[in-house]
Amino acid sequence: MKPKAQKSTCTVLQVGPMPLYLEVPLHQEFNVHRLPDGGRQEFLATKAEHVNIAFTTSTVGVDGRLMRALPNLQAVINFGVGVDKTDVQTANELGILVSNTPDVLTDCVADVAVGLLIDVARGISAADRFIRRGDWAQGAYPLGMRVSGKRVGILGLGRIGLAIAGRLEGFGAHIAYHGRNRVVDVTYPWYDSLAELAQNSDFLIVAVSSSPATTGIVSREVLDALGPRGYLINISRGAVVDEDALVEALVQKRIAGAGLDVFAHEPHVPKELATLENVVLTPHLGSGTTETRQDMAELSLENLRKFVIDGTLITPFG
Ligand code: 8YV
């Protein structure tokens, strides 16, 4: 076990850009080096051995190669709940602790999932464009699909999935879910097949963590099971969905529509999606409120402070 980092010798490596409300206090409190985009070898040659902690975001992460280049790295602090950009397996092999920011963002992400679902089913964003184009003078807006009382399938009934389910119970929705295992103390029906869940859902909501095991699991087959009256909502990660298959299914109306906050290659969004009225697009804003991002920043910093003091984390991942 490596000796615990002490604040006096603690050096933090900032990996990737971060918002000022996080970066300013981080640099005020700690001895921080930014990992440069260029000249990394030269930087690491002189700084690597001094780095005890890496501080990153869900958008960037710390890969295994960088971990192995930092011989005294003891912890990775992640701003965000998703750690799919950090090589957690290598961190575990090297005895490097990883923290993330669960719970503080659950409500805001769940709110966006419900918002996207209502928007795409009732065509709210599309109706706004309808009025702005002056089309109302030509006739009534097309009918949408009722949300209340519908069947909602949730892929991944974790913290965020459960929060979404709780919200939609208020709409009289019939909730079911798929995940590797049944969730303890939950009465919603569990499907051991994602395709079967999709087949029995009007809305399929993707709330599962992104990992090698979940990459592309919302496949063409699952989308076809969801079918021409089904809607897909994704507030997880674009990688969980076969994005080419999704675009094709939407263009060919093999599914009714989609509400998407995340994409496979952000900030790039398939251009076909921007032409479709049965799609609602948002730029990965799930946790993007002033309150929640401040809470995420504080939790990240609290993890760092605690690790420096006693070598443990408040919200360790895994
Ligand atoms: C990002 C997210 O953290 O928490 C996550 O996993 O997807 C977002 O809240 C945010 O965009 C900062 O990287």
Q: Of all protein residues, whose CA lies closest to atom 6 belonging to ligand 1?
A: 82
105 lines ligand 1 (CB under 6 A): yes
Non-local (6+) Cβ contacts of 41 within 8 A are none
Give the distance (Å) from ligand 1 centre to CA of residue 79: 7
> Among 107, 198, 181, 283, which Cα is nearest to 206's?
198
Whether 3 maps to a domain, the answer reads no
Q: Are residues 124 and 187 in the same domain?
A: yes
Q: Are residues 96 and 233 in the same domain?
A: no
82 lines ligand 1 (CB under 6 A): yes
Non-local (6+) Cβ contacts of 111 within 8 A are 167
Q: Rounded to an integer, what distance in angstroms lies between the CA atom of residue 275 and that of residue 299?
A: 39
Give the distance (Å) from ligand 1 centre to CA of residue 58: 5
Say if residue 127 is exposed, middle or buried (CB neighbours under 10 Å; 0-12, 13-18, 19+): middle
- The structure tokens listed for 141 are 């807006």
Whether 5 maps to a domain, the answer reads no
Q: Are residues 165 and 61 in the same domain?
A: no
Give the distance (Å) from ligand 1 centre to CA of residue 73: 23
Q: What does each of the 318 residues of the chain score in pLDDT, given as a tens digit? A: 555 544 445 789 999 999 999 999 999 999 999 999 888 899 999 999 999 999 999 999 999 999 999 999 999 999 999 999 999 999 999 999 999 999 999 999 999 999 999 999 999 999 999 999 999 999 999 999 999 999 999 999 999 999 999 999 999 999 999 999 999 999 999 999 999 999 999 999 999 999 999 999 999 999 999 999 999 999 999 999 999 999 999 999 999 999 999 999 999 999 999 999 999 999 999 999 999 999 999 999 999 999 999 999 999 998
Non-local (6+) Cβ contacts of 10 within 8 A are 30, 31, 52, 53, 308
Residue found under tokens 């950009």: 85
Which of the residues are catalytic?
237, 266, 284
Atom of ligand 1 nearest to the CA of 84: 6
Give the distance (Å) from ligand 1 centre to CA of residue 47: 28
Whether 2 maps to a domain, the answer reads no
Q: Which residues pair with 145 in a beta bridge?
A: none
The confidence score (pLDDT) of residue 65 equals 96
Q: Are residues 114 and 164 in the same domain?
A: yes
The range of the structural domain enclosing residue 96 comes to 11-103+290-310
Give the distance (Å) from ligand 1 centre to CA of residue 83: 9
234 lines ligand 1 (CB under 6 A): no
Q: Rounded to an integer, what distance in angstroms lies between the CA atom of residue 88 and that of residue 79?
A: 15
> Among 251, 193, 260, 199, which Cα is nearest to 230's?
199
User: CATH code at 49?
Assistant: 3.40.50.720
Whether 83 maps to a domain, the answer reads yes
Residue found under tokens 């809607």: 231
Q: Which of 263, 287, 291, 292 to mutate to test the pocket of ligand 1 (most atoms within 8 A of CB)?
A: 287
Whether 147 maps to a domain, the answer reads yes
Q: Are residues 151 and 241 in the same domain?
A: yes
Q: Are residues 206 and 299 in the same domain?
A: no
Contact 305, 75 (CB under 8 A): no
Local structure of 83: helix, strand or coil: coil
Q: Write b or e for each residue in 292-318: b if 16 or more Cβ atoms lie within 10 A of its Cβ, otherwise e.
A: bbebbbebbbbbbebbbeebebebebe
Q: Are residues 75 and 209 in the same domain?
A: no
The confidence score (pLDDT) of residue 39 equals 85
Q: Are residues 274 and 153 in the same domain?
A: yes
Q: What is the pTM of this model?
A: 0.95
The confidence score (pLDDT) of residue 247 equals 98
Q: Which of 20, 105, 208 to mutate to test the pocket of ligand 1 (most atoms within 8 A of CB)?
A: 105
CA torsion through residues 253, 255, 261, 264, sign: negative
Whether 181 maps to a domain, the answer reads yes
The confidence score (pLDDT) of residue 3 equals 57
Q: Are residues 148 and 28 in the same domain?
A: no
Q: Are residues 177 and 203 in the same domain?
A: yes
Q: Of all protein residues, whose CA lies closest to atom 9 belonging to ligand 1?
A: 287
Q: Are residues 87 and 58 in the same domain?
A: yes
Q: Of all protein residues, whose CA lies closest to atom 10 belonging to ligand 1?
A: 80
